[in-house]
C-alpha cells in the first residue's frame, strides 16, 4: 500500500541532544579573589570567608577567614561530587566573619553547572595547549575528554561531519568543517616556541 519512500522514517530534528540520564560529576570551583567588598560593620573592615553549596553539599571556609581585607586573595579550590541534572545550581557566597552576632552575607553568585557542562564552548578551566599524559607535569591534560573526543563533540554540535585524519607526505593532518589543519607543523611550532 505504501511505497518505500513513504515508509522511511524522517531524520530526528533533535537527534544530537544530550541524554536525559542522570550523571555523576566532580565539580571544581576555583575562587581567586574578590575586589571592593563593602564593609558591613561599624569599624569599616571586612573579615571575608567563602561558602560553596551544590545540592545537599555545603562547604564552609569559615575557619580560614581573612582579617580586615576588602580586596581578599582567596586562592582556594573546592571539589564537590554532584549528580546532574538534580544538583545543577552551584552557589558561591562571601560572608563577613563576626565575633559577636551573626555573620553577614556580603555577596553571592549562582552558577548553572548543567548549562556550563553542556555548553558547546567547553566552559572548563586549566586545559593545556598540548596533550601531555605525564601525571607529575604541570602542563598535563586536565580535561575529562581526550582532544579527539572534544573535536568530535564540537563537530557534532556544529552540524559538521566527523573529523577526518589523514597521513600523507606532509605528515598528519585533520579535516574539520571543510578546513585542513597540519598537525605535525603545529606540534613542531609549539615545541620550538616552548624551547625558546
Distance, in Å, from the CA atom of 73 to the CA atom of 59, rounded to the nearest integer, reads 18
- pTM exceeding the 0.85 threshold for the entire prediction: no
Cis peptide before 85 (omega within 30 of 0): yes
What b-and-e string marks burial along 96-111, b requiring 16 or more CB atoms within 10 Å of the CB?
bbeeeeebbebeeeeb
Per-residue pLDDT tens for 146-167? 888 888 888 887 888 899 988 8
What rounded mean pLDDT belongs to the chain?
Answer: 79
Higher pLDDT, 38 or 191: 38
Per-residue pLDDT tens for 120-133? 665 655 555 666 67
Per-residue pLDDT tens for 82-97? 888 888 899 999 999 9
CB under 8 Å to 31, separation ≥6 — which residues?
50, 52, 74, 75, 76, 77, 78, 92
Per-residue pLDDT tens for 12-49? 556 666 667 788 888 888 899 999 888 887 777 899 99
Distance, in Å, from the CA atom of 65 to the CA atom of 37, rounded to the nearest integer, reads 14
Amino acid at each position: 500500500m505504501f511505497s518505500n519512500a513513504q515508509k522511511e522514517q524522517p531524520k530526528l530534528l533533535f537527534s544530537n541532544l544530550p541524554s536525559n540520564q542522570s550523571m555523576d560529576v566532580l565539580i571544581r570551583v576555583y575562587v581567586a579573589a574578590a575586589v571592593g567588598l563593602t564593609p558591613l560593620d561599624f569599624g569599616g573592615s571586612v573579615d571575608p570567608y567563602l561558602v560553596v553549596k551544590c545540592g545537599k553539599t555545603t562547604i564552609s571556609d569559615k575557619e580560614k577567614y581573612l582579617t580586615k581585607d576588602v580586596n581578599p586573595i582567596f586562592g582556594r579550590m573546592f571539589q564537590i561530587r554532584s549528580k546532574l541534572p538534580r544538583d545543577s545550581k552551584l552557589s558561591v557566597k562571601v560572608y563577613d566573619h563576626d565575633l559577636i552576632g551573626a555573620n553577614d552575607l556580603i555577596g553571592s553568585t549562582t552558577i548553572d553547572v548543567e548549562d556550563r557542562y553542556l555548553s558547546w564552548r567547553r566552559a572548563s578551566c586549566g586545559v593545556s595547549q598540548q596533550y601531555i599524559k605525564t601525571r607529575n607535569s604541570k602542563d598535563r591534560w586536565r580535561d575529562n575528554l581526550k582532544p579527539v573526543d572534544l573535536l568530535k563533540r564540537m563537530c557534532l554540535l556544529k552540524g559538521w561531519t566527523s573529523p577526518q585524519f589523514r597521513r600523507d607526505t606532509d605528515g598528519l593532518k585533520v579535516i574539520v568543517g571543510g578546513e585542513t589543519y597540519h598537525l605535525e607543523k603545529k606540534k613542531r611550532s609549539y615545541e620550538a616556541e616552548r624551547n625558546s
